[in-house]
Structure 1
Amino acid sequence: MKRLIAVLLALATPAAAHVVIEPPEVAANSYARLAFRVGHGCGTAATIAVEVNLPEAVTMARPMPKPGWEIAIEARALARPVSSGHGLVREAPASIAWRGGPLPDAHYDEFVMMIRAPDQAGATLVIPVVQRCEGGAQHAWVEVAEPGQPRPRSPAPTLRLGAR
């Protein structure tokens, strides 16, 4: 019986979760796979878009295609070009959005991208996400936790940058 309860709790956890990043920490100045886990819809409405707003410190990001979803990338010019394995990069993604689905409220899923983490060991990146749902509902996961304060109702996902 205890085992059954543990299994049910493990399965129920994603449905109660906010939008979070997995893993929560990556090495600074590394290429990393990030999964943005969406644990529920907006009320009972299915999710039809997940929009990830990337901090300016992230100069490279590539989304993983997802069957049934279209990808939209909005770029921004970099203040100064950065070197990559393919030459100088003059613009970077400002946001990546997956649109389509739908992802029913009763299920969870992950939206994956690869980034080049900034060379800022010890820093924490705030990565706001807007979740859009059927019927025009939306949830903006954009609030930043202040030290010593309770966790916000709609916290923005965060990514810690560890030592290289």
Structure 2
Amino acid sequence: MKKYLLAAGALLALGTNAAFAHITLETQEAPVGSTYKAVLRVPHGCEGKATTALRVQIPEGVISVKPMPKPGWTLQTKKGKYEKSYQLYGETLTTGVKEVDWSGGNLPDEFYDEFVFRASLAADLPAGQMLYFPVVQECGDATDRWIEIPAAGQDEDALETPAPGIKLLPKK
């Protein structure tokens, strides 16, 4: 019996380590039509090197993005046109943040940190589906691209470098 428990514990530990091997979002579900606080968890660097930059692509339907500055890091946003217009607090939005970039920092491989932004999830996003935020992590001359999005019916666990994502819940 002890052998089975040890084997199960070892498998659980391996599975847990795999789950923490990539960049994830702290809150992995949110209702459409709500405000969402995205906390990107960065558990390691690239190939043992310190993280020096993090870029996150903002998917269509995520609007009014406001990133949180980090001491010691330069924060920039790239803006562009939305594919369609969105209504938010009585205003029509046609452009907004399409990418958030934190750079110039130094997050050693042996440490963990979080990168945060706030946004509104458009009310017409499809509840029940996943919404992905591709991330590029730079570590000097090394780069990890957390950009894979599963194809229809594909298991997310089968991806080598999955993009962090959230499940869209029905509007409250």
Cα drift, residue 123 of structure 1: 2.2
CA contact (8 A) 1:31 1:114 kept: yes
CA contact (8 A) 2:86 2:122 kept: no
Larger gyration radius, structure 1 or structure 2: 2
Show structure 2 runs of 5+ residues with no match: 1-12
User: Quick one: structure 1 residues 106 and 86, their matched pair in 2 at CA, closer, same or farther if it must change by over 3 Å?
Assistant: farther
RMSD between aligned alpha carbons? 2.2
For 2:144, which of 136, 139, 142 is the aligned residue?
A: 139
Return the alpha-carbon distance in structure 2 between the equivalents of residues 154 and 44 of structure 1: 17
Cα drift, residue 17 of structure 1: 2.7
Q: Secondary structure at the match of 2:99?
A: strand
Instruction: Name the residue aligned to 1:71.
Output: 75
Report matched runs for 1:16-31 at 5 Å: 16-31=20-35
The two structures have a TM-score, normalised by structure 2, of 0.80
1:115 and 2:122 correspond: no
Q: Secondary structure at the match of 1:156?
A: coil
CA contact (8 A) 2:60 2:83 kept: no
| Matched length | 153
Show structure 1 runs of 5+ residues with no match: 1-8
Return the alpha-carbon distance in structure 2 between the equivalents of residues 158 and 15 of structure 1: 13
Return the alpha-carbon distance in structure 2 between the equivalents of residues 29 and 111 of structure 1: 23
CA contact (8 A) 1:41 1:103 kept: yes
For 1:58, which of 59, 62, 66 is the aligned residue?
A: 62
Instruction: Name the residue aligned to 1:163.
Output: 170
Cα drift, residue 74 of structure 1: 0.5
Cα drift, residue 117 of structure 1: 1.1
User: Quick one: structure 1 residues 156 and 80, their matched pair in 2 at CA, closer, same or farther if it must change by over 3 Å?
Assistant: closer
